[in-house]
Amino acid sequence: MNHFLDIHKTDPAALRGMISSAIQMKTRRAGQPRGAPDADLPLKDRMVALIFEKPSTRTRVSFDVGVRQMGGQTMVLSGTDMQLGHGETIADTARVLSRYVDLIMIRTFDEAVLAEMAEFASVPVINGLTDRTHPCQIMADVMTFEEHKGPIKGKKVVWSGDGNNVCASFLHAAGQFGFDLTFTGPPTLDPEQEFVDLARSKGVNITIERDPMKAVAGADLVVTDTWVSMHDAQSARERRHNQLRPYRVDTRLMGNAKPDALFMHCLPAHRDDEATSEVMDGPNSVIFDEAENRLHAQKAILRWCLGV
Ligand code: CP
Ligand code: NVA
């Protein structure tokens, strides 16, 4: 069963194949209206369930549009409207949904929910974000980097800010795609050591540098994300803002990276908190390409999961 649960759990050759397939599909439908069907309709007759236990704009819309472009059908389900939110087990939900649909995409809190869904479903399951990881996002980010700069292998990526779920998937991608990653942020918000060790075990350089100006020196890509994630307690907001302010990505910080370094943010952003509008809307920013590429990258992931 081809579940897409995390980047480090997916074979590097398969990941590479998905990036190529995404770029190919994007090129093939360039200039067409968004709703136009792809010529080959690889998901014809397929039904896909998209379950959201947290809010979403990009993941929801890009999966929905992508499935439809490939000739499939979708249903978007909110966790709270399902029996799942009222005591039915994940295992039973997985077994029931597997009788109706051909694939399940789920955005949830605890990654144990995702694991249980995958264990008991008899159809592929895709991770649409958990508290710990966000693999679909980083597939789109790798695609975006390579569209602009060529192979990411051996390049220097700098993550500035909170060592959160998106950062974790970047660390997984560093190991699988072979790029170096420097994390810069306060010690209390470091990425989990397990993710750092795993990436290092694959032979890439993972550096922790507390000084953001030093960290970005020579960077090919600077990335940040919201300072307070959906799973973080709102009560921690002020403390996090105080700790993370020195890691805001502004033009001064970008000025210390390579002159043509890209800037990425998975969005949604809190403008002028984690990154200034000047950077977000500046010449190095590719944030809307990233958002668009969610569509193409996920279409490739869906095809890999379904073997079509
Ligand atoms: N980047 C991302 O996953 O955005 P949404 O929360 O809007 O899906
Ligand atoms: N780190 C953010 C990513 C949102 C797409 C969150 O989990 O809220």
pLDDT in tens, 48-78: 999 999 999 999 999 999 999 999 999 999 9
Q: Which ligand is nearest to the CA of 107?
A: 1
Q: Determine whether the shortest distance from the Cβ of 57 to ligand 1 is under 6 A.
A: yes
**pLDDT per residue as tens digits for the range 103-118:** 999 999 999 999 999 9
Size (the chain), residues: 308
Around ligand 2, the residues with Cβ closer than 6 Å are: 129, 164-166, 225-226, 229-230, 266
Q: Are 185 and 211 in contact (CB under 8 A)?
A: no
Q: Looking at residue 86, what is its pLDDT?
A: 87
Return d(Cα 136, Cα 173) in angstroms, integer.
11
AA letter at 43: L
Ligand 1 center from residue 203 Cα (angstroms): 30
Q: Determine whether the shortest distance from the Cβ of 267 to ligand 1 is under 6 A.
A: yes
**pLDDT per residue as tens digits for the range 208-228:** 999 999 999 999 999 999 999
Ligand 2 center from residue 266 Cα (angstroms): 8
What are the tokens at 269?
Answer: 């952003």
Ligand 1 center from residue 241 Cα (angstroms): 21
Q: Are 253 and 216 in contact (CB under 8 A)?
A: yes
Q: Which ligand is nearest to the CA of 135?
A: 1
What residues are annotated to the active site? 107, 134, 137, 225, 266, 294
Nearest alpha carbon to residue 181 among 141, 147, 130, 148: 141
Q: Which ligand is nearest to the CA of 163?
A: 2
Q: Which of 141, 229, 265, 274 to mutate to test the pocket of ligand 2 (most atoms within 8 A of CB)?
A: 229
Ligand 1 center from residue 230 Cα (angstroms): 11
Contacts of 239 (CB under 8 A, 6+ apart): none
Q: Which of 110, 134, 137 to mutate to test the pocket of ligand 2 (most atoms within 8 A of CB)?
A: 134
Q: Which of 136, 160, 225, 265 to mutate to test the pocket of ligand 2 (most atoms within 8 A of CB)?
A: 225
DSSP at 8:
G
Identify the bridge partners of residue 47 per DSSP, sorted by sequence position: 73
What are the tokens at 14?
Answer: 């398969």
pLDDT tens, residue order, the chain (308 aa): 999 999 999 999 999 999 999 999 999 999 999 999 999 999 999 999 999 999 999 999 999 999 999 999 999 999 888 998 888 999 999 999 999 999 999 999 999 999 999 999 999 999 999 999 999 999 999 999 999 999 999 999 999 999 999 999 999 999 999 999 999 999 999 999 999 999 999 999 999 999 999 999 999 999 999 999 999 999 999 999 999 999 999 999 999 999 999 999 999 999 999 999 999 999 999 999 999 999 999 999 999 999 99
Return d(Cα 197, Cα 75) in angstroms, integer.
38
3-class DSSP assignment, residue 293:
helix
Q: Are 273 and 279 in contact (CB under 8 A)?
A: no
221-224 and 262-265 as β-strands: parallel, antiparallel, unpaired?
Answer: parallel
E strand or H helix at 75? strand 73-78
